[in-house]
Structure 1
Amino acid sequence: MTQAYTRHTGRGSSNPERSGSRARRLLSGGRDRGVWRRGIVLAVFALALAGLMGLHSHIPNAVGNFGSLLETFLPWLGFGIPVLLLLALVRRSGTALLALLLPTVVWLNLFGGLVATKSSGTDGDLTVATHNVNADNADPEGTARDVAAAGADVVALEELTDDAVPTYEKALAGAYKYHSVQGTVGVWSKYPLSDTRPVDIKLGWTRALRSTVRTPEGEVAVYVAHLPSVRVKFNAGFTAGQRDGSAEALGRAIAQEPIKEVVLLGDLNGTMNDRALAPVTSQRMRSTQGAAGDGFGFSWPASLPMARIDQIMVRDLEPVSSWTLPATGSDHLPIAASVRL
């Protein structure tokens, strides 16, 4: 009886099973056919994750603007892949491992290009920067100095208050000869500005402007915008209706712009994956970070950046590089880009 038990179980054998045999069975499925029966639930989760990422634009906003909320943090869904991978290995499920290939491919297709270095390493004809300085910023003078230190030719600031504007004007006067403040947004430039005016983004007060920057290589239309904030509320979901309406108004303004070369700077309270920015991006506006940046370039919140809601977009200009600047006294990080005219 004991001998039979030993023969069938291998216990007491002088040649015990090696630890690597489990991994080989998991990959081959040979002697452990249960490897394909286990982990069905994990495989379903993997397929659902792939569906959320790959079909994000088809997820409706009807209930709580869930589609836009998902798109705001879309890259972070990739963290589900290593979690499911670990669970699949613990469960010894070949089915789950096979299913994980799909979300991995989808995530790489969406964001793999952002991980790679795209900066050309050369200087452009125009360097621009934008920063939501935060209305509650306790050190506007220091923030202005930090932004000016980037050496941009054109700087846009958002969330300016009446009390802080004189401080920013004084701190930036030495580096920027020309500037204009319209409502809560402003533009500072080393090159002459003309035809500067507010842009109506349907808020009832001014949070966007348009100006012509006369560079040595030609005129460029510069837009500065601060779209309405979004909130996640338990009883209302992702409250982004006002932001979406302002994005439509901004897109219409850019569509009517007579100058071919356009730069949009500002806090758009939306990522490039968010369908709400389609009225703007449909005007052939493209992200400098997506075209020539290194990494995701997250800008908010400054303490632990999780999303790039501050944007630099261009039309008929060639991005050469795009990057995030060091933190200031704001809850946003400044961002900058170099473009070729």
Structure 2
Amino acid sequence: MTDVDDRAPIEPPTERSVGEPGGPRWLRGPWGTPEVWRRGRVLAGVTALLALLLAVPVLVPNGLGRAGSLFETVLPWVGLAVPVSAAAAGLRRSASAGLAVLLLAAVWAGSFGRLYLPSGPDVEPNLTVVTHNVGAANGDPEATVREVLGAAPDLVALQEVTWEANASYDRVLGAELEHSGRWGTVGLWSRYPITDSRSLDLGLGWNRAMRAEVAGPDGGIAVYVVHLASVRVHGTGFDTALRDRGIAALADAVAEEPLERVVVMGDLNGSTDDRAMAPLTSRLAAVRGTGGDGLGLTWPAGFPLVRIDHILVRGVTPTETWSLPRTDSDHLPIAARLRV
């Protein structure tokens, strides 16, 4: 008689569902179930789209109301979507949205994180410059320039200098910086001799720019002090036409500048992230972020939203830049140390 094995037959192993005990370790638990990847797909899509536009902002067209320029002007603030989207992804328990948030955070860090890292070259600066839109309605011009002098500058560029306040600016700045030039509402005060100074026509219909030649520590430096036209946001979009014409005229002047070393300072009424600035930024380097000063936002002074005040250079090495304390203006002053 043959013995019969009454034990249950051994079943072949079956594939476990994603998230069940014994599945791949990285997919175990509630975040590994198919449901959490299906949830929040709209949130994930919107967040991923923001990451794409942050990485390639030129995808936002400029044809309709200069939307592209407006988006690029506020580009750093896209980073606020990271904590908001992260909170929403957590509430929705959405793995796909969480992954999109990580992507957005990585793109923002790649775009702007470098501005917070010390990056100045290991060279000794020999020129300190400051630019400040002092504001036409400034009620205390002397206190304003005393704040500016706290940076121990060699060059000071001011914009919105009124006839009424000019004497005050000249008296306080002149005590430290004996050489000066002024055209219209912009002026330059210098520790070094100014060998040439003239008005610069940017097609604005009034004088808000100048070009000066300064006999600096190691030779001549072309210094431009500029206040470009203001921009407006209204029903038809972002109005930048007059400013953009000024950018083109300034870029042409810089392109024709015979001196190798160039410093452009002033209120450009735009971010260097704005594609409209390309004629300038293709010829000049912004000192923004040098030394890890971060975004360096300058306007409005009470709660800065955008950096529209700039120092741009050619043939000059920036080693450090920073914002000065608030004055009686709606702009913050900015300073930079340079090796010329």
TM-score over 0.5 for the alignment? yes
| Unpaired runs of at least 5, structure 1 | 1-22
Whether the 8 Å contact between 2:209 and 2:224 is mirrored in structure 1 is yes
Q: Using a 3 Å threshold, how does the CA distance of structure 1 residues 158 and 293 change in structure 2: closer, same or farther? A: farther
Q: Is 1:25 aligned with 2:36?
A: no
Residues 34-49 of structure 1 correspond to what in structure 2 (within 5 A)? 34-49=35-50
| 1:125-176 alpha-carbon deviations (Å, 9 max, x no partner) | 1110000000011111111111122111000000111111111111211001
Structure 1 residue 121 displacement after superposition: 7.8
| 1:196-252 alpha-carbon deviations (Å, 9 max, x no partner) | 11111101111111111111211111011000111111x121111111110000000
CA distance in 2, matches of 1:142, 1:26: 61
Match of 1:268 in 2: 268
Whether the 8 Å contact between 1:123 and 1:338 is mirrored in structure 2 is no
Give the letter for the 1:252 counterpart: D
Match of 1:315 in 2: 314
CA distance in 1, matches of 2:200, 2:177: 23
Match of 1:219 in 2: 220
What is the aligned residue count?
Answer: 314
Residues 185-264 of structure 1 correspond to what in structure 2 (within 5 A)? 185-233=186-234, 235-264=235-264
Whether the 8 Å contact between 2:177 and 2:190 is mirrored in structure 1 is yes
| 1:23-76 alpha-carbon deviations (Å, 9 max, x no partner) | 96344x1xx331111111111111111122122123222111111111111001
Structure 1 residue 116 displacement after superposition: 1.7
| 1:86-123 alpha-carbon deviations (Å, 9 max, x no partner) | 11111111111122232222212211101223345864
Q: Is 1:53 aligned with 2:54?
A: yes
CA distance in 2, matches of 1:292, 1:202: 35
Corresponding residue SS for 1:172: helix
CA distance in 2, matches of 1:156, 1:123: 22
Q: Percent identity?
A: 47
Residues 54-203 of structure 1 correspond to what in structure 2 (within 5 A)? 54-119=55-120, 123-203=124-204
Give the letter for the 1:256 counterpart: E
4+ runs deviating over 3 angstroms:
119-123, 290-293
**TM-score of the pair, normalised by structure 1:** 0.89
Whether the 8 Å contact between 2:318 and 2:337 is mirrored in structure 1 is yes
CA distance in 2, matches of 1:39, 1:58: 25
| Unpaired runs of at least 5, structure 2 | 1-26
Structure 1 residue 278 displacement after superposition: 1.0
Greater C-alpha Rg: 2
Give the letter for the 1:25 counterpart: G
CA distance in 2, matches of 1:335, 1:120: 19
Give the letter for the 1:226 counterpart: H
Corresponding residue SS for 2:299: coil
Corresponding residue SS for 2:288: helix
Corresponding residue SS for 2:312: strand
CA distance in 1, matches of 2:172, 2:212: 21
CA distance in 1, matches of 2:267, 2:160: 9
Moved more, 288-297 or 220-229: 288-297
CA distance in 2, matches of 1:336, 1:293: 13
**TM-score of the pair, normalised by structure 2:** 0.89
CA distance in 1, matches of 2:282, 2:217: 29
